Amino acid sequence: MTTLIESEEHKALRDAVAALGKRHGRNHNREQLWSDAGKLGYLGVNLPEAYGGGGGGITELSIVLEELGAAGCPLLMLVVSPAICGTVIARFGTDAQKQEWLPVLADGTRTMAFGITEPDAGSNSHRITTTARRDGADWLLTGRKVFVSGVDIADATLVVGRTEDARTGNLKPCLFIVPRDAPGFQRSRIDMELNAAEKQFELVLDDVRLPPQALVGDEDAGLLQLFAGLNPERIMTAAFAIGMGRYALARAIEYARERTVWKAPIGAHQAIAHPLAQAHIDLELARLMMQKAAYLYDAGDDVGAGEAANMAKYAAAEANVKAVDQAVHTLGGNGLTREFGLASLVTAARVARIAPVSREMILNYVSHQTLGLPKSY
């Protein structure tokens, strides 16, 4: 069973990352923070020691992202490069793929994006239309992807495509490493109102020719390999949301202690104090489910981790939105000023409700997989 008390090693990691986050702060330079975190070994804590990583798991990596978020400087690419791509390669990659990618993903000198979402399929792996077909020994990859984070800074993208099963003729998901300079691999930036350091892109793959070694893992593994990356993605999204919620709540608490009206700090009034206390409780409960999900995943229980990861992501997203909303309301008009840095979080907090999977699809998952209710689709 999971331990509810963090180990001394985890506490030390949390404190060290929090100190790094505090040095960089809300107005951090993303490239510098990424470099510093890589040099200190934080970006690859989940990757095998044999390839330059920390030898830990998603438990440790989620601590890193949560604490950076709580300091106001979350790194979205932590969700993608080491958590999704690094995990998939570590579990299913060839020896050559591990040697090429894991050391550089661990120290942050190279990054990898992840492309699954499509214009008509969303993240539904059963409706993905990006296809890979053989051409001699090579693969030809054709299709479109949308809302792919950080393609402009990534050295390659791990693309989810589908290949034809020679036995059944059915299409099954497969993963390919596509270098950023591959002929036929085009990207265009999506104009987002959300102000984030990491930009979003649409990808067009027009008969992108890939060598046999671009295929990650077993061609017949299908969904197993895909969900090996999606479960960590959900856990890390929960960490991202919890960190953001903690940051907003801390700003509100500080303000409620110092802001005085009628000779008393506004935090002395229950109308201010109780909603902040509720926000704290919700964040702590979400963190417990996130820790359970990470524990199950690191223990190799992919089925149990799938359920817990979805619930953790749902709970963390809801707790984050409520915490940010309450923080802004606590500050009143000041909550909308650039000085206090909370207004932009009102939009950013909604991201975890939508990506990488909507809260409604998580409710579908829980109702079908956990409660055994019939599908409506």
- Tens digit of pLDDT for each residue in 20-69? 999 999 989 999 999 999 999 999 999 999 999 999 999 999 999 999 99
Rounded to the nearest integer, the mean pLDDT of the chain is: 93
Q: Is residue 34 part of a domain?
A: yes
Quote the pLDDT of residue 195.
81
Q: Which residues of 284-317 are buried (b: 16+ CB within 10 A; e: fewer)?
A: eebbebbbbbbbbbbeeeeebbbbbbbbbbbbbb
Judgement on whether residues 356 and 228 belong to the same structural domain of the protein: yes
- Helical spans, DSSP H, in 25-86: 30-39, 58-70, 77-78
* Contact predicate 106/44, CB 8 Å: yes
Judgement on whether residues 366 and 229 belong to the same structural domain of the protein: yes
Domain boundary among 196, 214, 232: 214
Judgement on whether residues 267 and 348 belong to the same structural domain of the protein: yes
Judgement on whether residues 200 and 264 belong to the same structural domain of the protein: no
CATH code: domain of residue 63: 1.10.540.10
Judgement on whether residues 21 and 104 belong to the same structural domain of the protein: yes
Q: Is residue 377 part of a domain?
A: no
CATH code: domain of residue 127: 2.40.110.10
Judgement on whether residues 230 and 337 belong to the same structural domain of the protein: yes
Residue with tokens 């207004």: 343
Q: Is residue 1 part of a domain?
A: no
Q: Is residue 3 part of a domain?
A: no
Judgement on whether residues 56 and 104 belong to the same structural domain of the protein: yes
**pTM (2 decimals)?**
0.94
- Whole-angstrom Cα distance, residue 174 to residue 226? 8
Q: Is residue 126 part of a domain?
A: yes
| Overall domain count for the chain | 3
Q: Is residue 29 part of a domain?
A: yes
The domain of 313 spans 223-370
The sign one gets for the Cα dihedral 53, 150, 153, 218 is positive
| Cα torsion through 9, 13, 14, 19, rounded to 10 | 140
Judgement on whether residues 148 and 89 belong to the same structural domain of the protein: no
Judgement on whether residues 190 and 243 belong to the same structural domain of the protein: no
Judgement on whether residues 232 and 147 belong to the same structural domain of the protein: no
Judgement on whether residues 80 and 28 belong to the same structural domain of the protein: yes
Judgement on whether residues 331 and 360 belong to the same structural domain of the protein: yes
Domain boundary among 214, 237, 257: 214
Q: Is residue 333 part of a domain?
A: yes
What Rg do the C-alpha atoms of the chain give, in angstroms? 21
Which of 105-114, 165-174, 234-243 has the lowest average pLDDT? 165-174
Domain boundary among 110, 139, 166: 110
pLDDT tier, 165 (very low <50, low <70, confident <90, very high otherwise): low
β pairing state of 112-115 and 156-164? parallel
